Amino acid sequence: MVALLPFPALLHPAAQIGWRYFSVHWSTVIGIAALFAFYEWRVRVHRVPAATPEELAGPTRGQRTLFVSGLFVLFLSLNGPLHDLSDYYLFSAHMVQHLVLTLVVPPLLILGTPGWMLRPALNIPWVNSWARRLTGARATFMIFNVVLAAWHLPPLYNLAMANHNVHIVEHLMFLVSATLMWWPLTSQMPELPRLAYPGQMLYCFLMTIPMSVVAFCITLADHLLYPAYAAAPRIWGITPMVDQSAGGLIMWVPGTLFFLVVLSVVFFRWVGADSDDAAGAQVNWRPAPSPTPNQP
């Protein structure tokens, strides 16, 4: 049976039992289903005579694929092997889960949601005002990094491990703050725009610093910061201190590299945009007509 299981399932301590023990938490299923239902409702409610051509066309196939992929990745991160390893066995698996929740799910959901779906909310004055404040680069940078650092402090982290409701709040705060963090890079709404390309590059570079500081402190700690994992059953002979250091490195290296990859993508898009502008200017340029000599 084990040989027939997909590779992620083989990482699960109960892999020899099979997929019938794939853990599912119905609160996450309800939340994900509600997001999908809202998405489909927004698609249908805009198909009215007053709708714009963009609204009548609905989301593109690419946008739908991105949004559904984000929901699917969200489901896999909060259920099944990764969830069980995170909650009951390995701190390092928990760091993988946190990176997925903050660096993978939010950009997929934002890029998969056309701006017109959210635009009506901006007609409400207080929503418009707060949306503009909270999606600015300074605010998103501070909110995300304060949330990230606070929840990795031992008192809050250990409280989340001991209380499932607090753990749910932790994950919700990660998702919300990460969605705000990604907004200046992936916004689909001109009213709440992305940063210009140079600003996006600086933003990505600065994002690596707070995460690296938190990861540095965890990786090089000389004592166990999160006692819940000391009492957990040992998996593959990994000691709690090795597990803690590995978790810090997972946050440090992949987390930093992820933003540097995004920075590189932004750079090449900037270069490509400048090249297109230059090419367009050259095509549109016409030499001034030569003066016609006076006829005698």
pLDDT digits (tens, 9 = 90+) for 61-114: 999 999 999 999 999 999 988 888 888 889 999 999 999 999 999 999 999 999
Q: pLDDT tens-digit profile of 248-292?
A: 999 999 999 999 999 999 999 999 886 655 555 455 555 555 555
Q: How many CB atoms lie within 10 A of CB 63?
A: 17
Query: What whole-number distance in Å separates Cα of residue 119 and Cα of residue 117?
Result: 6
Rounded Cα–Cα distance for residues 24 and 288 (Å):
71
Whether 140 and 134 have beta carbons less than 8 Å apart is answered as yes
Classify residue 52 as exposed, middle or buried by CB count within 10 Å of its CB (0-12, 13-18, 19+).
exposed
43: pLDDT confidence band, cut at 50, 70 and 90? confident
Measure CA 197 to chain center.
19
Segments making up each domain of the chain, as ranges: 2-280
Higher pLDDT, 213 or 277: 213
Taking only the tens place, the pLDDT of each residue in 172-188 is: 999 999 999 999 999 99
- Residue 277's pLDDT is 57
- pLDDT more than 70, % of the chain: 81
Residue with tokens 């799910």: 105
Please give the average per-residue pLDDT across 32-45, as a whole number: 90
Confidence (pLDDT) at 285: 53
H/E element, 209? helix 197-219
pLDDT at 39 over 60: yes
Q: Which has more confidence, 8 or 150? A: 150
In 46-124, which residue ranges form alpha helices assigned H by DSSP? 53-57, 61-78, 80-88, 91-99, 105-111, 115-118
Nearest Cα residue to 168 out of 229, 248, 237, 87: 87
What's the average model confidence in pLDDT over 52-63?
77
Q: What is the pLDDT of residue 194?
A: 96
Residue with tokens 């909650």: 87
Q: Spell out the residues 6+ positions from residue 228 whose beta carbon is closer than 8 angstroms to its own.
A: 158, 161, 162
**Predicted confidence (pLDDT) at residue 115 exceeds the cutoff of 50:** yes
